[in-house]
């Protein structure tokens, strides 16, 4: 199973982007064993912890997650015989929660509205649990530099080889920042003129922080897209590789994910929709031939009860005509 992490396909999206001068290539991370891009970082971090002796046989892995990192942890913990305890915001889809439990993980749900640093916040809760269990190990995906390193060593290298280095833009939203930071650094070291674009949901901290260098807590809010944006600055997020941050609404991401399924036959999650929305913005402003690469982090199967449900979309006030 672990040997099949990575080496995911890169496909051209011809129907969503039919302009002759625009090429959009999407990395399909749902082909990883647990169904998301997070398999890469969890494998890399756990193997490093095993080599260093920080994580020992029969140990406990604790982590805060929006679901995909948790699924990767639960899968690898099952394979290797570790106990897994995972904290998550209660907005996380029921499909994700059920998958973690099916793989044997213990799930602790926390209020999405909990403020960073409060005992009920899912990041703080994970740290408190880890501190209470002797010898436990945290993946620490938000602040662990091994997160971005995993993408630098694997995903970035794969994209470079699959495109032959013919890339003008790389588009990826971020939460921990590992994907955009690792891939962005790898590609920019080889293509200094490459532009890295980061879509960010309204309510996330990153857009204002990127543009002002300060944090306005009054602008932090809740949003429905899972796995992107953040309410605190993750140490893993490297803004030096980012050229522009674009704000999107939940409806933008959901509409693009639904269009992707119906027009390209690719079933992907809300973060994929956000990334494709970002690609649309770049395509619209481009008059010359341009190649845009993005990542589709996970599968739409994890969101059947949410934005792929017409009933849910209508209840949330979202348009289902697109």
pLDDT digits (tens, 9 = 90+) for 226-280: 999 998 899 999 999 999 999 999 999 999 999 999 999 999 999 999 999 999 9
| Confidence band for 59, pLDDT divided at 50, 70 and 90 | very high
- 2-36 tens-digit pLDDT: 999 999 999 999 999 999 999 999 999 999 999 99
Return the CATH class of domain 2-31+145-314. Answer: alpha beta
State yes or no: is 43 an active-site residue: no
What is the rounded average pLDDT of the residues 40-52?
97
Q: What is the pLDDT of residues 113-129, one digit of tens each?
A: 888 889 999 989 999 99
Least confident segment among 64-68, 157-161, 262-266: 64-68
Taking all residues of the chain, what is their mean pLDDT, rounded to a whole number?
Answer: 95
Would you say residue 316 has pLDDT above 90?
yes
Going by pLDDT thresholds of 50, 70 and 90, the confidence category of residue 189 is: very high
pLDDT at 92 over 90: no
Asked whether residue 322 carries a pLDDT value surpassing 80, the answer given is no
| Start-end of CATH 3.40.50.1100 domains in the chain | 2-31+145-314, 38-138
CATH class entry, domain 38-138: alpha beta
Instruction: Give yes or no for a contact between 316 and 46, defined as CB atoms under 8 angstroms apart.
Output: no
Q: Which of 15, 27, 38, 188 is catalytic?
A: 38
The pLDDT-based confidence of 219 (bands split at 50, 70, 90) is confident
Q: Is the pLDDT of residue 321 over 90?
A: no
């Amino acid at each position: 199973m672990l040997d099949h992490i990575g080496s995911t396909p890169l496909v051209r999206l011809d129907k969503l982007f039919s302009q002759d001068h625009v090429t959009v290539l999407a990395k399909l991370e749902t082909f990883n064993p647990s169904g998301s891009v997070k398999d890469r970082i969890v494998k890399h971090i756990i193997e490093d912890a095993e080599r260093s002796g920080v994580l020992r046989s029969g140990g406990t892995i604790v982590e805060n997650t929006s679901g995909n990192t948790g699924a990767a942890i639960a899968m690898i913990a099952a394979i290797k015989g570790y106990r897994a305890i995972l904290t998550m915001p209660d907005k996380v889809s029921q499909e994700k929660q059920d998958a973690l439990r099916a793989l044997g993980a213990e799930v602790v749900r926390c209020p999405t509205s909990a403020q960073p640093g409060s005992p009920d916040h899912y990041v703080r809760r994970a740290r408190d649990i880890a501190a209470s269990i002797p010898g436990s190990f945290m993946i620490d995906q938000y602040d662990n530099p091994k997160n971005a390193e995993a993408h630098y060593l694997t995903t970035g290298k794969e994209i470079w080889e699959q495109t032959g280095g013919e890339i003008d833009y790389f588009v990826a939203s971020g939460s921990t920042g590992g994907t955009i930071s690792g891939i962005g650094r790898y590609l920019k070291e080889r293509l200094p003129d490459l532009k890295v674009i980061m879509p960010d949901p309204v309510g996330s901290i990153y857009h204002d922080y990127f543009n002002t260098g300060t944090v306005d807590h009054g602008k932090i809010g809740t949003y429905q897209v899972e796995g992107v944006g953040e309410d605190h600055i993750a140490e893993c997020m490297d803004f030096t590789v980012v050229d522009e941050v674009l704000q999107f609404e939940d409806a933008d991401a959901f509409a693009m994910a639904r269009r992707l399924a119906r027009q390209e036959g690719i079933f992907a999650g809300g973060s994929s929709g956000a990334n494709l929305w970002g690609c649309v913005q770049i395509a619209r402003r481009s008059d010359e031939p341009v190649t845009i690469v993005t990542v589709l982090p996970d599968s739409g199967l994890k969101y059947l009860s949410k934005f792929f449900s017409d009933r849910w979309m209508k209840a949330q006030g979202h348009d289902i005509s697109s």
